[in-house]
Amino acid sequence: MTTPLLEVQDLTIAFPTPGGGSAEVVSELGFALPPGGSLGIVGESGSGKSMTSLAVMGLLPKGARLAGRIRLAGEDIAGLPDRRMRAIRGDRIAMVFQDPLSSLNPYYAVGFQIEEAYRAHRPRATRREARRVAVEAMERVHIPDAARRAGHYPHQFSGGMRQRVMIAIALSTEPDLLIADEPTTALDVTVQAQILALLREIRRDTGTGLVLITHDLAVVSEMVDDVVVMRAGRCVEHAPVARLFSDPQHAYTRALLDAVPRLDDEVGELRTVRAAAPDTPREGER
């Protein structure tokens, strides 16, 4: 068996609470992703999906306590000093965030923001070379007229184009692993489909591994091999995507699947999942 590209074991993330206690937002989470594989992490808001991705990036907010192991190609990167983590971030693991407008710096041209990601890991690269890489990355994410558009600022792009820029930033260093945290949530439905198609195309062409974090089961079904269903910081079900949809094992997964509205649904009312993620999992609730 080959070494997994990403292996998370017993990951626990906790924040101190006023009064000296602590709140666990992720508890004993575990999953593995083979090189070039793809994994979806689904769950409601507050289920700990984004915290998991930030932990992998080493970007947890100040004060967060982390336990467990995060292995990137066999090397434990959990709690690595920031200086060493910096060499991995943006180079071997790249991340695409939810809201592309606020995730791009309004003060710099998009070309520069892509160049910057490339040059952070290629210190010997010249500006000219970085510019060429940036324009190529923009062409790869199908931004028309890339060479000229590189000089434009984020506010001059549409939402979908901005997310393409974010993806171009992530791709510029040819990472082994791409983490996409709700990459389509802030976009129109038609644009969502285009961005998902782009992510699939990139995976096919580059063979990069993908961790896709979303609350949208429909997105997961088209995009990944395996799915982790999270609730209140814990994994309630971990299964290949086809089996998850055909034969969900856990009651919560069934409830989630049931809550997805269908066009052919006879029932006029939308079904909801009861009890949203509590702050901390109650005793016996797993």
Partner 1 sequence: MARYLLARLSGVVLILVLVCLFTFTVFFVLSPDPAVQICGKNCNPELIERIRGNLGLDEPLFTQFTTFLGGLFAGRAYGTGEGAVECAAPCLGYSFQSSQPVWEMITERLPVTVTVAVGAAVLWLLAGVVGGLVGALRQGTWWDRGAMVIALSGLSIPNYVFALVLQYVLVVELEWLPFPQAVTLADDPALWFQSYLMPWIVLAFAYASVYARLTRANVIDTLEENFVRTARAKGLPRGQVIRRHALRPALTPVATIFGMDFAGLLGGALITEKVFGINGVGKMTADAIGRNDQPVIMGVTLLAAAFVVVGNVVVDLVYTALDPRVRLTVA
Binding flag, residue 187, partner 1 (CB under 8 A): no
Residue among 208, 232, 215 at smallest CA distance from 286 = 232
Least distance in Å: CB of 192 to partner 1?
19
Question: Does residue 90 bind partner 1 (CB under 8 A)?
Answer: yes
Question: Each residue of 177-192: b (16+ CB within 10 Å) or e?
Answer: bbbbbbbbebbeeebb
Task: Report the C-alpha gap between 268 and 147 in whole angstroms.
Answer: 50
Is residue 213 involved in binding partner 1 (CB under 8 A)?
A: no
DSSP 201: H
3-state DSSP assignment of residue 32: strand
117 in contact with partner 1 (CB under 8 A): yes
Name the one range near partner 1 by CB under 8 A: 2-10, 91-99, 137-145, 250-258. 91-99
**Integer Cα distance of 119 and 130 in angstroms:** 7
Among 50, 52, 103, 208, binds partner 1 (CB under 8 A): 103
Contact between 196 and partner 1 by CB under 8 A: the answer reads: no
Q: Among 23, 87, 218, 259, which residue sits at the site for partner 1 (rule: CB under 8 A)?
A: 87
Contact pick of 55, 88, 198, 241 for partner 1 (by CB under 8 A): 88
Contact between 155 and partner 1 per CB under 8 A: yes
Shortest reach from residue 199's CB to partner 1, in Å? 17
Judged by CB under 8 A, the stretch of 38-46, 73-81, 117-125, 258-266 that binds partner 1 is 117-125
3-state DSSP helix/strand/coil % of the chain, to nearest 5: 35, 25, 40
What is the closest distance, in whole angstroms, from the C-beta atom of residue 120 to partner 1 in the complex? 5
Among 169, 198, 202, 230, binds partner 1 (CB under 8 A): 169
List the structure tokens of 33.
């992703």
Which residue in the set 121, 164, 231, 238 belongs to the binding site for partner 1 (CB under 8 A)?
121
Q: Tokens 């993330």 — which residue?
A: 13
Buried b or exposed e, range 250-285, using 16+ CB within 10 angstroms: bebbebbeeeeeeeeeeeeeeeeeeeebeebeeeee
CA distances from residue 212 to 50, 217, 250, 253 in whole angstroms, order as listed? 10, 11, 21, 17
Interatomic CA distance for residues 51 and 39, integer angstroms? 16
Which residue of 21, 22, 23, 59 would you call a contact of partner 1, by CB under 8 A?
A: 59
For partner 1, the binding residue among 6, 11, 60, 94 (CB under 8 A) is 94
Which among 30-38, 102-110, 230-238, 244-252 is the span making contact with partner 1, rule CB under 8 A?
102-110
252 binds partner 1 (CB under 8 A): no
| Pairing mode, strands 6-16 and 22-33 | antiparallel
Measured CA to CA, the distance from residue 172 to residue 266 in angstroms comes to 47
Residues that bind partner 1 (CB under 8 A): 57, 59, 82, 86-91, 94-95, 97, 99, 102-109, 113, 116-117, 120-121, 153, 155, 166, 169
